[in-house]
A and B are shown apart, each in its own frame.
Chain A
Amino acid sequence: MFPTISWVSLGLVLAGIVVHCLVSPSRRSAKGEAAKSISEGDRSLLAKLKCLACPLALGSLIVLFLTGFVGRLFFGELMTGYTLMLHVGLAPVFVVCLGFIVITWGHQCLLNDTDRQRLGSLLRLNKPDSGGPPDLGWKLTFWLAMFLAVPASLSMVLGMFPIFGTHGQETLLCLHQYSSLALTLAAMIHVYLVIRRKALCS
């Protein structure tokens, strides 16, 4: 069941990204606007760490995804051996990075009035005002990814305590799998939208 859902959802998201990339208009906004909004031109240690945390989180997420999903999707096997060790070893790096990112980037990912209006329009199934760079998508996926990281992490850590029995462990594993899949999908969309926005604003 899980491999099927994974294949379908990954396929749909990738296809959606490709279609969006082809279909969506690529009007460029004022140069530097987006860059300014996403990354301040600060060169302090915090800013450097802030810049380091994102690729580190992304890199560890990719490795976590590969170690966690490849064996399962291609060979129907659960992680064992060195793969498992690498997966478990990188997990805290990823979670710590996320903690750092949510603190340092959280404020910039707050929805502003424009975003709220867009969100309101989308919820009312109206076509949103197309003026300005599309920020709503990457902000929402950011918060979604941050939210999903909590069950994805806790589901595994709690399994290491003598709290849950076999059934509980299986439920935790299930929760870990599905929340990780959702986290990966959210991160994929987020990264795509951020890259696209940067490209549009450069």
Chain B
Amino acid sequence: MIQVIRTLLPLVLVFGACALAQAAEKGKGFGDGHDGNRASVTHLIDLFDDKGDQIKSSIRPRPISMRNTCGKCHDYDTMAAGWHFHSGSTNVLSGRVGEPWVLTDNRIRTQIPISNRGWKGTYKPGDVDMNAWKFLKKFSSHFPGGNYGEMAPSEDEEDGADEEEVDTSELFRWEISGKYEINCLACHHADRKQNQSDAAFQAAKENYRWAATVASGLASVKGTASELEDFYDPEFDGHKIITSYDKSRFDSNDKVFLDIVGKPTSNRCYFCHSTQNLQTPGEDEWVHNEDIHLASGMSCADCHRNGVDHMISRGDIEPSKNPHGSADYLKAYDPKKVTSYSCQGCHMGDPNADDPAARMGGHLGAPIPEHKGMPPVHFEKLSCTACHSGRLPTGNTARVRTARIHKLGLHGKLASMQPQLPHVVTPVFARMANGKIGPHNMIWPSFWGTQTNGVVKPLAPNLVREIAPDELGIEIEAPERVNDWIELSEKQIGNVLKLIGDYEWELEEGEPKPLPVYVAGGLLYRLSNGVVVSENHDAGEPYKWPIAHDVRPAAQSLGSNGRCADCHDKDSPFIFGQVEVDTPIKPAEKQSVAMTEFGELDRGYYQMFAFTFLFRPWLKVVVILSCILLGMVLLLYALKGLDTVIKAAGKKVSSKQ
């Protein structure tokens, strides 16, 4: 009997533990979903640090851990799979092409679009020797947390990895800086004290663990992780990064009220998703208008909605690319739901929707457009955004700066960072993945790289700095700039290419030596018999991403009120505009490419088509006059015929009498 008990007891204990774990797992995310009550939930909550301990104002506090605080009621891992947070994962979803991160280094004339989503024209962080730590160092100012922020190598990896693969000093730095967890408050904290610029400031100091806490306005932090020694240990060295909470925010039970909203305010979205029109920058910023939807009282989240999974709808009508056949992705991107919140879905209705109201359109009072005088063929060839979004096109493309690429919205010590490069040109009317033409923002990649078997890969900027510091004038304090670029001559290109060519590459057996190249302004430069030659190459193709905002009022849309000439004039910028080519080579010279190249349009045909519009008023007059004439003659003979019938009938009646 005892033997039986001895055998069964461990099994019972194991099962019991499993059952408890499962029960705990079931409780996870109980704050998600909706019980139907539309009143907002008051978040008077306990705060927890990254060790899972409750934060109390009276005891030396640690920064808030979102995983442990928000994760008490919400399913953190499910949210981490959303668009904002999953780009670093190995099974990343590509989705529609979007704004990339741009790795810039002006001194070496480099600007490389970076994305782990495999978008054509972008390079993966790994291609430029960028691991999670380096990625954070470069892009953390406008980073929502999670993703690369939580990719510190685990101890197992640390032990098993090749020494060269894991930089041991980075491992120490991760320990000091902590993980940059998803900053839930960055979006959901409606308190006006929420300040993402503070998060950026903490991130610049490598205080990742503290970024969300400081940005929330709950605490201030003294100390800089990046200034601490690799072997800094707070247990032995004393706390050198001090978190001081605003004690007035804690109640008698050490609970804190956070003004949490399910639907983030647009102000929160703006921090990372602002676009500055450089037409009248700086002091004249006040002349610019907001997106017409926001001006009408809507918020970003009215259309860009999401469930617990945080797969925010992106305005797509067609299901986005799903390279991995992920069922979760398709579940999240149920076109019947998502389409209802696209331009077409809201304004015109989605005929395939299950909900009869969604079939009718007019969500949130969206006016149903009549598009008077607009032949329906336009809707087959153009996206809604082509006529309604972005800057009104002019003869030459303009420039904008975006929050993420140009680090806009930073205040205090970081405010001096006002990069102009990379130049983002807009609007470029290019063909989109769905075959329609729409407005895009665009950058011209520029980088030093290598070509192996025709494939071009960029070199990590640090390596280029190491190979050719003098030739690229890295040490010069204030180099002369032309059109924001430090000019690069062909001679310099040749010299740097030679230096890269001489570099001792670690090659595997049989692997060909990579050829040094430089990509800029759409061209690939390489050495041929010691002379620099340039040629068109796919690697030089500009990277462009479709834009949908700001949406202009209907009256300011292209073709509004039957103005065909907006696009079908012989000088129409929509078709015949010029797209700026941005390059450090001869930057003072104005270089451009015809807009038709990007729209894949036959320039000759559209010129002829525009020419026919000169005669369109005549055509209308001639046809209408001819129709009036035809109508009158027909009426005349019809009356004559009627006259004959009446006379005949009259004769018949009189003859019978």
Contacts and interface: CB of A to CB of B under 8 A. Distances in A.
A22 interface: no
Contacts of B374: 166, 169
A161 B619 CA distance: 12
B620 interface: yes
Contacts of A200: none
Contacts, number: 104
B371 interface: yes
**Range of interface residues on A (Cβ < 8 Å):** 35 or more
A102 B373 contact: no
A104 B630 CA distance: 12
Contacts of A78: 377
Most buried by A among B370, B605, B608, B627: B627
A92 B375 CA distance: 19
Interface in A165-190: 165-166, 168-170, 173
Interface string B361-403: 0000000011111111101000000000000000000000000
A8 interface: no
Interface stretch (B244-252, B313-321, B633-641): B633-641
Given A85-B612, A160-B620, A162-B372, A80 B629 contact: no
Contacts of A168: 372
Nearest to A80: B377
Contacts of A41: none
B137 to A, nearest CB: 51
Given A102-B633, A102-B634, A162 B377 contact: no
Contacts of B60: none
A157 B634 CA distance: 20
A99 B373 CA distance: 26
Given A106-B637, A110-B640, A99 B630 contact: yes
B640 A88 contact: no
A96 B637 contact: no
Interface string A77-115: 010111001001101100110110011001000110000
Interface in B603-657: 605, 608-609, 612, 616, 618-620, 622-627, 629-631, 633-634, 637, 640-641, 644, 648
Contacts of B619: 88, 91-92, 157
A35 interface: no
Contact of B634 (A96, A150, A153, A173): A150
A195 to B, nearest CB: 24
Contact of B373 (A98, A103, A163, A170): A163
B561 interface: yes
Nearest to A161: B373
Interface residues of chain A: helix, strand, loop or mixed (majority):
helix
A159 B634 contact: no
A160 B613 CA distance: 11
Nearest to B617: A160
Contact of B375 (A89, A154, A159): A159
Contacts of B631: 150
Interface string A133-152: 00000000001001101100
A102 B637 CA distance: 10
B562 interface: yes
A162 B369 CA distance: 13
A147 B376 contact: no
B371 A165 contact: yes
Contacts of A92: 618-619, 622-623, 626
A143 to B, nearest CB: 7
Nearest to A79: B377
B629 A166 contact: no
A85 B604 CA distance: 13
Interface string B173-189: 00000000000000000
B623 A91 contact: yes
A157 B624 contact: yes
Contacts of A153: 623, 626-627
Nearest to B605: A81
Contacts of B641: 111
A95 B626 contact: yes
A152 to B, nearest CB: 9
A165 B372 contact: yes
Contacts of A165: 369-372
A179 B139 CA distance: 63
A130 B375 CA distance: 50
A168 to B, nearest CB: 8
A156 B375 CA distance: 10
A73 B516 CA distance: 55
Contact of B637 (A81, A110, A150, A161): A110
B637 A157 contact: no
Contact of A95 (B373, B562, B616, B627): B627
B370 A166 contact: yes
A28 interface: no
Contacts of A82: 605
A92 B648 CA distance: 39
Contacts of B616: 160
Contact of B620 (A98, A146, A157, A170): A157
A160 B376 CA distance: 12
A95 B376 contact: no
A169 B375 contact: yes
A67 to B, nearest CB: 14
Contacts of B648: 116
Contact of A150 (B608, B612, B627): B627
A85 to B, nearest CB: 6
A96 B624 CA distance: 10
Nearest to B563: A162
B569 to A, nearest CB: 15
A2 interface: no
A162 B626 contact: no
Given A98-B630, A102-B633, A162 B561 contact: yes
B371 to A, nearest CB: 5
A82 B607 CA distance: 12
B630 A85 contact: no
Contact of A161 (B562, B612, B630): B562
A56 B352 CA distance: 48
A157 B608 CA distance: 20
Contacts of B624: 154, 157
A99 B624 CA distance: 11
Nearest to B560: A162
Nearest to A170: B376
A157 B623 contact: yes
A190 B377 CA distance: 34
A106 B633 contact: yes
A28 to B, nearest CB: 30
A198 to B, nearest CB: 23
Contact of A163 (B372, B620, B626): B372
Contacts of B605: 81-82
A160 B373 contact: yes
A91 B609 CA distance: 16
A173 B377 CA distance: 11
A147 B369 CA distance: 34
A78 B379 CA distance: 13
Contacts of B562: 160-162
21 contacts: A81-B605, A85-B609, A85-B612, A91-B619, A95-B622, A98-B626, A102-B634, A116-B648, A146-B630, A146-B633, A146-B634, A149-B630, A150-B631, A154-B627, A157-B619, A159-B373, A160-B562, A161-B562, A164-B373, A168-B372, A170-B376
Given A99-B625, A106-B633, A169-B371, 6 more contacts: A80-B377, A99-B629, A111-B641, A143-B634, A159-B373, A170-B376
